[in-house]
Copies of this chain bind each other. A is one copy, B any other.
Amino acid sequence: MLNPTESLATAPMLSGSERLWATSVVRDLAFLLARANALSLAQANAAAATHGLKVRSYTVLAIAVSDTRPTQRELAEFLRLDPSQIVALVDELESRALVRREPDPSDRRANVVVATDEGRATYASAHATVADSERAIFAALSAEERTTLMEMLRRLAGAPDALSA
């Protein structure tokens, strides 16, 4: 009845379960990563929902807006989703006229996903909302710490070596 998506900031300082922080799991990086991610994800989903999006569709839209003209296969590989899930995501965005499928000139089997003008507009406002809501969560860290965290996560996430600011 109170689930991950709900009442995060509103929680009144969780009663008796707080003592479980004395447990060994909380010294486990994977556990903390999962927990931090759950909080961040819930926040991001709530923010994206304001614009009729979920993090998944928001992310696909963000990539479409970037003008990298990814094929669905590339999206699947990059987001580590099955190609069939990309179909559903692109279907949904396309039905709302936020993206278009264009035939890849160099391979007639492949579709390239591009944002429409409306998609760009939606992304712009969604991005503002999402970024804003994340600031609230990552405010637990200083600007310098956030930079350090990003650099570490990039390595854990398997990003290629170039740093990018």
Contacts and interface: CB of A to CB of B under 8 A. Distances in A.
B150 A32 contact: yes
A33 B29 CA distance: 12
Copies of this protein in the assembly total: 2
Contacts of A155: 140-141
A15 B77 contact: yes
Interface string A54-89: 010001001100101011011101101111000000
Contacts of A152: 141, 145, 148-149
Given A55-B34, A156-B36, A159-B21, A3 B138 contact: no
Contact of A68 (B4, B20, B82): B20
A21 B41 CA distance: 20
Contacts of A74: 16-17, 19-20
A3 B82 contact: yes
A153 B33 contact: yes
Contacts of A81: 3-4
Given A17-B70, A17-B77, A17-B78, A157 B32 contact: yes
Chain A interface main SS type: helix
In this complex, the interface size class of chain A, counting residues with CB under 8 Å from chain B, is: 35 or more
B30 A40 contact: yes
A26 to B, nearest CB: 7
Contact of A4 (B15, B30, B38, B80): B80
15 contacts: A17-B77, A22-B68, A23-B66, A29-B146, A32-B150, A32-B153, A32-B157, A33-B37, A33-B40, A34-B37, A36-B37, A36-B156, A39-B157, A137-B156, A140-B156
